A and B are shown apart, each in its own frame.
Chain A
Amino acid sequence: MDSTALHNVATFAYLFATFFYVAYLAFRTRAVGNIATSLAVLGVVVHTGGKALRWVESYRMGIGHAPLSNMYESMSFFALSVMAAYLVVEWKFKVKTLGAVVAPIAFIILAANALFFPDEIRPLVPALQSDWLLYHVITSFVSYGAFAVSFGISLLYLVKMKAEKGGLKEGSILAMFPDLKVLDEVNYKSIAVGFPLLTLGIITGAAWANYAWGTYWSWDPKETWSLITWFIYAAYLHARLTRGWQGRRAALLSIVGFLAVVFTYFGVNFLLSGLHSYG
């Protein structure tokens, strides 16, 4: 069994979890919900095992480094963070319904990864050989996971709010999702977790830059985009303090924030140039 096989198992676990979360929405049977959660947990466990094994494999090849160094590895970690962040939300807020939105995101990321990015383990270029890489990437990506959850919830918020205005029918699928008030709070909560982590991600990046070349901030596009993301979520947090900005407008800001996350992650790599040559 190699790490790629474990990644494949996790991919399918997320796919089946998606089916069962959707079925849970429709039927609301406890057993279906439990199967969905079990599949999601199984996926996360196998996925984590896959990451660990890949780490070991790289050492066996004599080019040992944490499995967080290229697009394939960081995407995989991103999907793992999304699912782990979601399971925490499910457990803390007892809302299984959101799994129908989040599990497919993790599945799509892993599937896209398998289709578009090579999974071979490559040696690290010198600029990435630093322990700071580990701290920097982990904090950044766990925050991305939390933001992805808030993104899913914000979309749901907007859809549900629109439907409620038109008069929501009892028993329709949207009616099964939590109340707008609860959605708004879970949204805030996941940003309240994501924001400090993003801050830590930016700080560890700056610490690395300073340790490595004596400059903690150089306005390189990746740095700048992470700061842009940070500004947007700071705006979100403050928006909640003034009345008019709760609910819909806050959800919109959170969506914009996640678009900035995605651009920081992909757009900068593929569209702009800078120091960061990886994800």
Chain B
Amino acid sequence: MLDVIYDALASVTLAIFLLIILAVTSILGTVILQKGNPEQYLMEYGAGLYKLFHFLALDDMYRSWWFLTILILLLLNITTCSIKRFPRAWRLMTQSPKVLDDALFKRMKHRGSVRRNIDPEKAIDEARAVIEKHYGKVKETREISSVTLYVDKGWYGRLGAYIVHLSILILAVGAVYGGIMGFKGFVNIVEGTAIDRVPLRGKNTAMKLPFTIQCDDFRVEYYPGTQQPKDYSSDLIVFRNGEVEQTKTIEVNHPLIVDGIYFYQSSYGVDRNSTVTLQVFDPTGNVAGPDITVAAGQSFNVMGDPSNYQIEELIPNITAGRPGVKVAQFLGNTHRDFYLLEAAPNRDKTRGGSVYFKIRDTNIREYTGLQVAWDPGVPIVWLACIVMILGLYIAFFVAHKRIWVRVDLDSDDSAVLIAGTSNRNPATFEREFESSLADLKDALKGKKG
């Protein structure tokens, strides 16, 4: 009974089945939103489907029990199958017959026999030359009545598949280790402030760091003459025990790394506590009231003006590297937006309102949004990748080829036998074999032929 289970577990049929199941089920997670919040699912799929998705863990399927079960089955499958098959592969690699006896000759698919018209020792030399030309270094086994020339090339080609399988196990170790020990989080740092805690993703806790990170400045750089961002960057300073340990300007694709923890430039925005101070004028240019200091989202009124104003957005550099404000004006049922620019103080006069504004001062601070990740399994994963590539190379491009040539020493006119086998590329090997057979025929004809 156990045997039956073990054989099934170690079978290639199961491997094909699992690989196809993995391919098919993986599609679900690319179609169904992953790790969204309940409202998103309810809106997109409705209550019934959401319940079903949640029950089947399709809203976070790559970490679900059933997906992990398939992965674990695959690992067990790889392990048992490799263990079961390795001894045979090893025998084929290391214990090839050194002598071409008749039984071996009959078993070989690629074989030929060639009449020789020259004496045996000469025939051995000629055959050696041909075989070395086609296949490389030859070993010789001398018996009383015959000599076998033997080439054993690329024996380690048979190891390739096992190396690839091993690399998948190493990969799994690295992924699990990193998943258990590491963390992922996200943190915003307002310009001029520092943090030493990172809220963890998907959890309600934060990670305390053994250092603090301060953000001095955040910038967006544009391609010249366009509004298309060229780069986002932040000037960061790392403090440890009250001393500066490192300063670095990070950009997209160029993170800060401290103690193996990555801080990746991921988003940005304007701090909620940023404010703007506005001067108010009547259309003739006289001051029409006290200055107003407001933050984004706040509303304000001006004495004697029926409109209601709201600050929509504070923009740190809108023109000429100077800040601006987007303001919404509500009057009765009407609503319009307008911009105030520090670089063009008199622009608002032309709007034609009952009052106009100038920016007196801004206190705008941006924050930089950093994705934070620490994964101690990464070196193991890279090791696995290198091993995998090496294994794939060996598996596909190193063929284990063996060639035997037997020259009988006793009778004069006997045939020379040649046989060969390769563990892959049968058609290529066949061509190669045929061509060496033809060369051998030529060589053994002697001068008269």
Chain A positions near chain B (C-beta within 8 angstroms): 62-63, 123, 125-127, 129-130, 181-182, 185, 189, 192-193, 195-196, 199-200, 203, 206-207, 210-217, 219, 221, 224-225, 227-228, 231-232, 234-235, 238-239, 241-242, 245, 260, 268, 272
Q: Give the 10 A-B CB pairs with smallest separation, nearest first.
A: A214-B262, A214-B373, A126-B252, A213-B264, A235-B19, A231-B23, A196-B392, A221-B30, A192-B396, A130-B253
Report whether A219 and B62 are in contact in the complex, using a CB–CB cutoff of 8 Å: yes
A69-B156 Cα distance, complex, nearest whole Å: 40
A225-B23 Cα distance, complex, nearest whole Å: 9
Q: Which of B12, B255, B427 has the most CB of A within 10 A?
A: B427
The yes or no answer to B16 lying at the interface (CB within 8 A) is yes
A123-B224 Cα distance, complex, nearest whole Å: 11
Report whether B427 and A182 are in contact in the complex, using a CB–CB cutoff of 8 Å: yes
Identify the stretch in B95-103, B229-237, B296-304, B435-443 within 8 Å (CB) of chain A at 4 or more residues: B229-237
The yes or no answer to B27 lying at the interface (CB within 8 A) is yes
A242-B81 Cα distance, complex, nearest whole Å: 14
Give A93 Cβ to nearest chain B Cβ, in Å.
Answer: 8
Q: Mark B412-426, 1 if CB is under 8 A from A, else 0.
A: 000000000000011
Report whether A216 and B393 are in contact in the complex, using a CB–CB cutoff of 8 Å: no
B interface residues, how many (CB within 8 angstroms): 51
Report whether A214 and B23 are in contact in the complex, using a CB–CB cutoff of 8 Å: no
Report whether B30 and A272 are in contact in the complex, using a CB–CB cutoff of 8 Å: yes
- Given the interface contacts A210-B378, A232-B23, does A268 sit within 8 Å of B30 by beta carbon? yes
- Chain A interface SS verdict (over half): helix
Give B107 Cβ to nearest chain A Cβ, in Å.
Answer: 20
The yes or no answer to B117 lying at the interface (CB within 8 A) is no
Report whether A228 and B27 are in contact in the complex, using a CB–CB cutoff of 8 Å: yes
Please name all residues of chain B whose beta carbon is closer than 8 Å to the beta carbon of A245 when the two chains form the complex: 16
- Residue of B with least CB distance to A131: B253
Chain B positions near chain A (C-beta within 8 angstroms): 12-13, 15-16, 19-20, 22-23, 26-27, 29-31, 34, 62, 175, 184, 223-224, 226, 228-232, 251-253, 255, 261-262, 264, 266, 371-375, 378, 381-382, 385, 388-389, 392-393, 396, 425-428
- Residue of A with least CB distance to B25: A228
Give A212 Cβ to nearest chain B Cβ, in Å.
Answer: 5
Report whether B389 and A196 are in contact in the complex, using a CB–CB cutoff of 8 Å: yes
Report whether A219 and B29 are in contact in the complex, using a CB–CB cutoff of 8 Å: yes
Partner of B251, one of A125, A126, A193, A224: A126
Please name all residues of chain B whose beta carbon is closer than 8 Å to the beta carbon of A189 when the two chains form the complex: 425
- Residue of A with least CB distance to B228: A123
Report whether A224 and B392 are in contact in the complex, using a CB–CB cutoff of 8 Å: no
Report whether B392 and A195 are in contact in the complex, using a CB–CB cutoff of 8 Å: yes
Report whether B264 and A235 are in contact in the complex, using a CB–CB cutoff of 8 Å: no
Partner of A238, one of B12, B26, B425: B12
Give A8 Cβ to nearest chain B Cβ, in Å.
Answer: 28
A193-B392 Cα distance, complex, nearest whole Å: 10
17 A/B residue pairs, CB under 8 Å, sorted by A:
A125-B228, A126-B232, A185-B426, A192-B396, A199-B388, A203-B385, A203-B389, A212-B255, A213-B266, A213-B371, A214-B255, A215-B184, A228-B22, A228-B27, A238-B12, A245-B16, A272-B31
Give B435 Cβ to nearest chain A Cβ, in Å.
Answer: 13
Please name all residues of chain B whose beta carbon is closer than 8 Å to the beta carbon of A217 when the two chains form the complex: 175
Q: Which of A126, A192, A232, A245 has the most CB of B within 10 A?
A: A126
- Given the interface contacts A130-B253, A185-B426, A228-B26, does A214 sit within 8 Å of B374 by beta carbon? yes
Please name all residues of chain B whose beta carbon is closer than 8 Å to the beta carbon of A196 when the two chains form the complex: 389, 392-393, 396
- Given the interface contacts A182-B427, A232-B19, does A213 sit within 8 Å of B262 by beta carbon? yes
A256-B373 Cα distance, complex, nearest whole Å: 36
Report whether A227 and B232 are in contact in the complex, using a CB–CB cutoff of 8 Å: no
Report whether B23 and A228 are in contact in the complex, using a CB–CB cutoff of 8 Å: yes
A138-B251 Cα distance, complex, nearest whole Å: 24
Report whether B26 and A227 are in contact in the complex, using a CB–CB cutoff of 8 Å: yes
Partner of B425, one of A63, A185, A213, A242: A185
A241-B10 Cα distance, complex, nearest whole Å: 14
Q: 16 extra interchain contacts, Cβ-Cβ under 8 A, other than A62-B224, A127-B252?
A: A127-B253, A129-B253, A181-B427, A195-B392, A199-B392, A200-B389, A207-B385, A211-B255, A213-B371, A214-B371, A214-B374, A216-B378, A232-B23, A234-B19, A235-B20, A242-B13
Report whether A126 and B374 are in contact in the complex, using a CB–CB cutoff of 8 Å: no
- Given the interface contacts A221-B30, A227-B26, does A63 sit within 8 Å of B255 by beta carbon? no
Please name all residues of chain A whose beta carbon is closer than 8 Å to the beta carbon of B175 when the two chains form the complex: 217
Give B444 Cβ to nearest chain A Cβ, in Å.
Answer: 28
Please name all residues of chain B whose beta carbon is closer than 8 Å to the beta carbon of A224 when the two chains form the complex: 26, 29-30
Please name all residues of chain B whose beta carbon is closer than 8 Å to the beta carbon of A207 when the two chains form the complex: 382, 385
Please name all residues of chain B whose beta carbon is closer than 8 Å to the beta carbon of A213 when the two chains form the complex: 255, 262, 264, 266, 371, 373
Give B368 Cβ to nearest chain A Cβ, in Å.
Answer: 14
- Residue of B with least CB distance to A225: B30
A206-B381 Cα distance, complex, nearest whole Å: 10
Partner of A215, one of B223, B228, B253, B373: B373
A217-B261 Cα distance, complex, nearest whole Å: 16
A195-B19 Cα distance, complex, nearest whole Å: 15
A62-B224 Cα distance, complex, nearest whole Å: 10
Give B73 Cβ to nearest chain A Cβ, in Å.
Answer: 14
Q: Which of A125, A195, A214, A268 has the most CB of B within 10 A?
A: A214
Please name all residues of chain A whose beta carbon is closer than 8 Å to the beta carbon of B372 when the two chains form the complex: 214
Partner of A231, one of B26, B251, B393: B26
Please name all residues of chain A whose beta carbon is closer than 8 Å to the beta carbon of B19 when the two chains form the complex: 231-232, 234-235, 238
- Given the interface contacts A126-B252, A224-B29, does A231 sit within 8 Å of B22 by beta carbon? yes
A241-B12 Cα distance, complex, nearest whole Å: 8
Please name all residues of chain B whose beta carbon is closer than 8 Å to the beta carbon of A192 when the two chains form the complex: 396
Please name all residues of chain B whose beta carbon is closer than 8 Å to the beta carbon of A228 when the two chains form the complex: 22-23, 26-27
A219-B12 Cα distance, complex, nearest whole Å: 27
- Given the interface contacts A214-B262, A232-B19, A239-B16, does A185 sit within 8 Å of B427 by beta carbon? yes
Give A129 Cβ to nearest chain B Cβ, in Å.
Answer: 6
